[in-house]
Each structure stands twice: as C-alpha cells, then as structure tokens.
Amino acid sequence: MTDRLLSTLISGRFAISGTVLLTLLLALIQFCTLPADNNLLFGLLDGRFSILINWGIITLTALLIVMLNNQYQIIRERTKLTFFLPLFFSTCTILYTIPYTYTLAGLCILAAFFPLFLSYQKENATEEIFNSAILFSIASLLNIHLLLCIPLFYWSFYQFRSLTWRTFFASIIGFMAPYWMVIGYFLVSGKSELISFPTTSFLTNFRHPTDFTWHAATLLILTLFSSFIAIAQILRNTYHCKIQARIFLQINIWFQVTCLVLTYLYPIESLLYIYLFYLSATLLLAHLFTLVRNKFASILFYLLTGMYLLYFIINL
C-alpha cells in the first residue's frame, strides 16, 4: 500500500516549498496569538520575534538534514521527509518555549557531522576532526551540559576510523579554542567576573521552561514509542545501508538516549534536550516512513502528525 500524501512528502516536487509555507503559517499564527512581550529581543524587537528566529534556524537545520541524507545516503533513497518532520514537529512544539540559542545549539551539533563524515577512513583527518570539535564546542557554549556528550563524539571518531593521536590532540584544541576566545574576550574587556561555568552557559539567554503538561508528556511518549519502532526497523535492515549510514544511525540512537538522560539529570534545561531528542527522532522516523510503505506506517504517520498539530492548537 502506498499512501498518496506520504509519497508526495517523500518525492513530491513541491514538498519542501509546501512545508515551508505550512510551517511559516503556523509560526505566524503563534506570533499573532501571543500577547506583546516587553522583554526586547536584541534590545530592539518584541520578544515574540524569537518565534520567527527559531523558525528560521530550524528551517536551516532541516535543510542540513536533507543535504546530509542526499550526500551520504543515510536513508537509501532521497526523501523530503527529512525536511518535513523536523520542521513541522518543531514548529508545533518549541518555537516560543525555548530561546533561539537552543535551536542554534542543535544546528551546530548537526553541522559537526559534515566534517566527521569527511574524516571516514582518512589517514590524516586532523582538519576535519578539528572543525567538527569546534562546532560541537560552540554548541556547548550555548549550553554547558552538552559537554557531557563529548564521550559520544569520541566514540563517533573511533567508529568513523579517524581517531589517531594526531586527531585526538586536534580535537582537544578544537574543543578548547572557542572557550579560549570567549575567556580572552572577557579578560580583555574587563569582565572577568563572567568567567565561570554555571549550570547554564553564560552565552544562553536563559528562560525558565513552561510546565510539562499531560499533553506534552503524551507527545513525548508517543514519539519515544515511534522511535523504538524505527530503531527496530533499522536494526532489522541495517545490512542494506552503507557503512557510514549505519554508523551515523547508531550514533543517532545513542544521542537520543543521552538526551533523555540529560532531561532527567537537568530538568530545568529539559526543553533543550527534548528538542534535540525530537530532532534526532525525526531522522529515524523519516527512515521508517520512507522505507516501510504499508498501512501501519501510514496510520503511525497520521497519528504522529495529528498529535503534534493538536498540541499546537491546545497551546495557542
């Protein structure tokens, strides 16, 4: 059974432009229904403009996922679901609940995988590992707890057969370089009191998360259940994928686990880790819905998208 809507989202000519228009409309609806925010963004704009900034960053993130899939064939065929799912799910859930620095951290983590793929089985991959480490370090500046993901990144270097003594020291320098620059700036500008490593990054525009309501919990559980189905399908058919794709999918699964652990350890920052969990889940779900064309997959797809749209309506 081939569902017409799913087929359009997978290979339709206007799937990306249609997704952009739909999600931009949802973002504008959310922008217009919220009361004016007196906390000025950048000291100039109404705080509600963080919705549109988040939407722009997430759109760029979704485009990077599409590029990553097209270039390295993480999913065995090209699919626009890698654009639709992260942008639609994120638009329905997190545009106003988290600061734009959190979505920017997600963008940096995703971008860090591009040089990592280039380092695959390369004899001297110091430049690629250095660039990957810098991008991840920038993400950790936006939320200091992301440094707990460093062991996962080193495991990624090992899995991509690019971890040597040279690349190890290159990664150390890459991780430290952004911190050196920020600390040096504060020392030169006479703001040495800002040189600290609190539970949240000193570059993050911190905002307390909203209450984790029953419908948000239901959405998270449904996404987690769907991810388990996608993981089972990936493990069952992983031998069909390219080696690089297999490694990336394994990393993505462990990154989901890490996000859930961080959500438990640091509940005050939970919205960031839930966003990163959703972001990684959408790639697994795109893998599932693209390669499994049956009635069950169609029902699960409509159930997920319907629940996210319902969550959006409830929170207007």
223 and 259 belong to one structural domain: yes
pLDDT in tens, 159-210: 888 888 899 999 999 999 988 888 887 777 766 555 554 444 434 434 444 4
Query: SS3 helix, strand, coil % of the chain, rounded to 5?
Result: 75, 0, 25
Q: Of 153, 187, 206, which residue constitutes the final position of a domain?
A: 206
Residues of the chain with pLDDT under 50: 1, 197-210
Q: Please indicate, yes or no, if residue 116 is contained in any of the structural domains.
A: no
10 and 92 belong to one structural domain: yes
What's at 57, amino acid-wise?
I
Its pTM stands at: 0.86
89 and 224 belong to one structural domain: yes
For residue 292, what are its two tokens?
Answer: 């499994």
133 and 201 belong to one structural domain: yes
Asked if residues 131 and 172 have their Cβ atoms less than 8 Å apart, the reply is no
| Distances in whole angstroms, Cα of residue 95 to Cα of each of 176, 208, 275 | 31, 14, 10
Q: Please indicate, yes or no, if residue 219 is contained in any of the structural domains.
A: yes
Q: Please indicate, yes or no, if residue 107 is contained in any of the structural domains.
A: no
For residue 170, what are its two tokens?
Answer: 């290159």
49 and 191 belong to one structural domain: no
Number of Cβ atoms within 10 Å of the Cβ of 222: 15
Q: Of 164, 185, 206, which residue constitutes the final position of a domain?
A: 206
200 and 248 belong to one structural domain: no
Q: What pLDDT does residue 46 have?
A: 67
Please give the tally of structural domains in the chain.
Answer: 2
Q: Please indicate, yes or no, if residue 105 is contained in any of the structural domains.
A: no
Q: Please indicate, yes or no, if residue 269 is contained in any of the structural domains.
A: yes
Asked if residues 134 and 90 have their Cβ atoms less than 8 Å apart, the reply is no
Q: Please indicate, yes or no, if residue 43 is contained in any of the structural domains.
A: yes
Q: Of 206, 232, 249, which residue constitutes the final position of a domain?
A: 206
pLDDT in tens, 117-148: 888 878 788 999 999 999 999 998 888 888 88
Q: What pLDDT does residue 202 have?
A: 39
164 and 177 belong to one structural domain: yes
Q: Please indicate, yes or no, if residue 104 is contained in any of the structural domains.
A: no
41 forms bridges with which residues in the sheet?
45
The phi and psi torsions of 51 (rounded to 5 degrees) equal: -60, -50
45 forms bridges with which residues in the sheet?
41
187 and 219 belong to one structural domain: no
215 and 200 belong to one structural domain: no
Asked if residues 175 and 138 have their Cβ atoms less than 8 Å apart, the reply is no
39 and 186 belong to one structural domain: no
Q: What pLDDT does residue 61 have?
A: 93
Is the alpha carbon torsion for 285, 265, 113, 186 positive or negative? Answer: positive
Give the structural domain span for 11: 4-98+210-314
169 and 225 belong to one structural domain: no
136 and 283 belong to one structural domain: no
Q: What pLDDT does residue 236 have?
A: 77
Alpha-carbon distance of 251 to 255, in angstroms, equals: 6
**Residue 93: strand, helix, or coil:** helix
